[in-house]
Structure 1
């Protein structure tokens, strides 16, 4: 669809007069042109780096993941898997360098993901037999003879249905019986008694046996250097649903299940699985590095610190106590003297190092960019993912001296076709004097942007941040002719625990003037046209959008995707019950707190902005009912509104055609009200 300023932008591009096609603006269809590079893994010789690449099959309307491998010196790149319509992820080299194991749901087992093995030199992979359940994660033993698996228990009802179903016959549905405190999870659906457990798989016998005793979920396994023990994360409280108390455990690897030993006893989240950060053994096996959470009451608002603890237990040493920044993915140096890790900093993610004995944190690789997924090279240095505002994630080799060299080039061809919009950092002052940081994005090809229609685009979370990574949404808005204002209001991470916790139990409070300060700054600078302002976001970004239009009537149109602002009516309908009761209390004991953050619904008469609501039908993160309620409220008052429901989609959409459609509708809604609000 053409934007209301797209014509002027096209004239700028066509006016270049070059024989070679000028780069074009980025459009919604480009969502499905991106190659998503993930999970780099350095082989044991340090010669090769394997990684996964997600692309879009337009005809099949699905995404597929395939495995690639690039030499450390960049001299060769090999595509390892290519089966049409099937995906492979999570590549892991065997310690002897002979094999690459990976995860795939190839075959006829429905949604179950299984473990596959292929020769590192190439050839077809083979599924490992004898595994019952769906494999979520795995790790090789140091001697390459065994693997530890994280396996979700088989679904007994699914097995019974499969066994009893005749050809052409619909499966007989079964009642869903629920008796858990937290009973819903996006994608997983309604939660029963199935667990994610650790198993040891023997490659010689193709047999699997439980690693541990007990009936609990287990995650993030890491082998000790001598192969005798496995460290992992688990919540082993009487009712894990009611607590944040995850701890680091160690279990001995034997012929029978072992009772794990708890190494940590912090009342909050020790190495909680939500960060995906594995515990890291020191080279001599004497200590384990891990993440310790912030204050229990603050849960996700709290800062995660790097800690080490003796592999035999005892008191931990917090190595980044004074840093006041989230950290993750620790990696020990080969001599065991230092630990490198990722730091989530203000609008960036950097790689830093600290002595294992304690001391000052120093940067290894920093700057206004985003590093992630480090994998150590035994020869020195590491492979990392790196993204900037101008380019999506690619695999880089990071030398021991901090030098960077690009290894993967999955998006190079696409980047040559498109005009990437410039992104600039901004600083402004909120209503109460608080400094707020953010970004302004302007359409490509405009030397002196001025008087532009402008979108205030809000991030989700709220405990997250906009950073220096490539943002396709910014680029599509700018390609359509908009300036984009995005802020990191209070509640955002990257600027310390106090800044994040300032939004605690006040979701529509300080974030509103903080976000509006970004708009005021863009207007004052002359970039934003004050009469052509728009606002939108997804998840908490939608919530902030609704808080904003209930507080400020200057926006011509709004888009709210998968948000909730009738929080009181949302109690018990989503996956956040533990967080709600910690932060707000229960509605029957603390009603005022629930009503306070529900003002866009209970004071709906303040809203005059035409608003488009969108939601996935199967979203259990922020269920559809929340968008339905706000749509109905505006419809009742004859405020222009629409509700778009995407069948079969969760909180994060998966169907490529819907991703494109969502963005096209978003732009069309703004275009519809570009000339002015209806009377």
Structure 2
């Protein structure tokens, strides 16, 4: 049956600046990776006059990422860099009286033994002061409303690791002793008895008190309005490694206090994976939080906005009829409404609803991704917002839902480069399911000309490609390629049924779905059907393996941190709970495991030259999985290469390696998709 494709109504999403008045712009280049600034974590001062935020960018000399704290005046008249050290600072927070700007940093610590400590910067002047000297590391913290104490989540130091002094003496490291069900975690490495606990830090005396000693991990603390209690999220029971059931607990903020369990359902409440902190109502009588779905659905379920009394009772889902993910609840000052982030098809909006439930109001909507927001005094709100041709920046929310720029960190750079048009599309999959996506046209696109085209596939699988800026898309567009991306079944943003459609059935419906946008690009006369490439990272790498083992139209592939033989994943990565929940134990349900391992056991059907890439220390989707697929193609005499990035985890972070990866992507695609001698615009 012939597939048909439909196009979403609407124009291409244009650059924010008026092109007629702008100077001549150049295509995007690899050197622009060092120019881009990542803006995040906006915080409003207590008087509402300033907004602190974090700016991260590549330090090419040191070959690492470095983050600094900046402040913007509310009226937009000033942007000041507050920290300038060669080490990163993050999590800027104002003390409730506005006297201090606090942050977390490992500055001054040795490179290998450095732990994130708390620093206080007196806004009246002077240098920042390191106020903690921990063997462990601070992962999260929040000021009490009265400003006298700070709640901290501190991870224990690794008892099996060697200090720098011990390494200098060449002391032999002790054996790693493992006895946990989940014993691996990307970045953290092998898991032993290390836990992270809830502490309270007294600002005046500098005294630190552990409120929750024990064999559990605590997350996302939030203070009561009277500064007497804390609510936090924790997994407990005989063996927390074996389940997903996060619950909320209340504890008095004093030594020796015992935590009281607040939520008791089997649904995960404030799962830290989603970084959605529970929020107290202004009167201290209710708590709003994010609640996940049934255990058996894991991340395939929709996350709901829930409110329950502090005194106990039944949690109430405020917008159960809305089949979309919600996160980050924050109360209005009068306690009558709740603001939250609402994920929808390719977008993420700021929304609000009555505290008693009812109709959802989209406060800031449109083709955009609002990744964060913060509420301040006198109804002031800031958001971190990204659009297809604008990276994340901080904006003040004005009346009539307009956004006024505050940070402007990327404005100068954006004035120099030109981007390919980003158009929203919908493809129709083999069974008629509509699949949302985008097509990114080459920078110098000419109507009627066919272009080599790359299908890029997102990770997750439960995530989505959205209206935010994507360097990768624009890099390929600058080098003469059209790019097509989609949100196949398994993606978020389209409701629970759409997400769970690939449960225990990877590579089947989602392969058909990603191919639908390729069909669209060919049908529209944009994509050259004889010059198609494919690639992705993580689940995008998994899907790349699935696609090339099921479809021979692709002439080149780049598979990053994927797995083709899921049998090999059991017991080698961090997903043992997830595997057993979704697929069952491999010796009990080998047919299910064989089904999702299709690429490896059908490697003989692959003819696409494939570049494989992975981080050496990846515990998320370990290197051995990539090695197996590389070895299979090498055995079959298919052109292939394996690139291993030393010391890197699942996410490649070292700037020189990030640049190297893009160079290799482009070289591999050019080898098979670009006519010999064809010039590219942005490959330098």
Return the match for 1:120 from 118, 123, 141: 123
Residues in 2 aligned to 1:455 and 1:445: alpha-carbon distance in whole angstroms: 16
How big is the shift at 1:156? 2.7
How big is the shift at 1:174? 1.6
Residues in 2 aligned to 1:663 and 1:392: alpha-carbon distance in whole angstroms: 19
Q: Does residue 155 of the first structure (1) align with residue 154 of the second (2)?
A: no
Residue number in structure 1 paired with 2:681: none
TM-score (structure 2 length as normaliser): 0.94
TM-score (structure 1 length as normaliser): 0.94
Whether the 8 Å contact between 2:160 and 2:176 is mirrored in structure 1 is no
Whether the 8 Å contact between 1:455 and 1:534 is mirrored in structure 2 is yes
Q: Does residue 96 of the first structure (1) align with residue 97 of the second (2)?
A: yes
Return the match for 1:76 from 56, 78, 83: 78
Whether the 8 Å contact between 2:383 and 2:395 is mirrored in structure 1 is yes
1:632-671 to 2 correspondence within 5 Å?
632-671=631-670
Whether the 8 Å contact between 1:100 and 1:117 is mirrored in structure 2 is yes
Whether the 8 Å contact between 1:371 and 1:386 is mirrored in structure 2 is yes
Deviation string for 1:634-664 (max 9, x for gaps)? 0001000000001001111111000000000
Residues in 2 aligned to 1:242 and 1:181: alpha-carbon distance in whole angstroms: 7
* Paired residue secondary structure (2:514): helix
How big is the shift at 1:295? 1.9
Residues in 2 aligned to 1:150 and 1:650: alpha-carbon distance in whole angstroms: 23
Whether the 8 Å contact between 1:330 and 1:340 is mirrored in structure 2 is yes
Deviation string for 1:398-431 (max 9, x for gaps)? 1364221110011011111111111000011100
Residues in 1 aligned to 2:653 and 2:536: alpha-carbon distance in whole angstroms: 18
1:318-397 to 2 correspondence within 5 Å?
318-397=317-396
Whether the 8 Å contact between 1:282 and 1:332 is mirrored in structure 2 is yes
Residue number in structure 2 paired with 1:474: 473
Residue number in structure 2 paired with 1:207: 207
Whether the 8 Å contact between 1:130 and 1:208 is mirrored in structure 2 is no
Residues in 1 aligned to 2:158 and 2:568: alpha-carbon distance in whole angstroms: 32
> Cα–Cα, structure 1 residues 383 and 449, in superposed 2: closer, same or farther, change >3 Å?
farther
Whether the 8 Å contact between 2:22 and 2:415 is mirrored in structure 1 is no
Deviation string for 1:108-150 (max 9, x for gaps)? 3523110000012443211004544211111111111111111
How big is the shift at 1:164? 4.6
Residue number in structure 2 paired with 1:273: 272
Residues in 1 aligned to 2:181 and 2:490: alpha-carbon distance in whole angstroms: 27
Whether the 8 Å contact between 1:237 and 1:243 is mirrored in structure 2 is no
Moved segments of 4+, more than 3 Å: 18-21, 129-132, 160-165
How big is the shift at 1:542? 0.8
Residues in 2 aligned to 1:492 and 1:122: alpha-carbon distance in whole angstroms: 48
Whether the 8 Å contact between 1:308 and 1:319 is mirrored in structure 2 is yes
Residues in 2 aligned to 1:343 and 1:19: alpha-carbon distance in whole angstroms: 36
Residues in 1 aligned to 2:108 and 2:409: alpha-carbon distance in whole angstroms: 28
Residue number in structure 2 paired with 1:229: 229
Deviation string for 1:179-214 (max 9, x for gaps)? 111111110000111111000111122111112353
Residue number in structure 1 paired with 2:430: 431
Residues in 2 aligned to 1:631 and 1:561: alpha-carbon distance in whole angstroms: 11
Q: Does residue 46 of the first structure (1) align with residue 45 of the second (2)?
A: no
Whether the 8 Å contact between 1:451 and 1:528 is mirrored in structure 2 is yes
Whether the 8 Å contact between 2:617 and 2:646 is mirrored in structure 1 is yes
* Paired residue secondary structure (1:666): helix
Gaps in structure 1 of 5+ consecutive residues: 1-17
Whether the 8 Å contact between 1:213 and 1:257 is mirrored in structure 2 is no
Residue number in structure 2 paired with 1:107: 108
How big is the shift at 1:31? 2.2
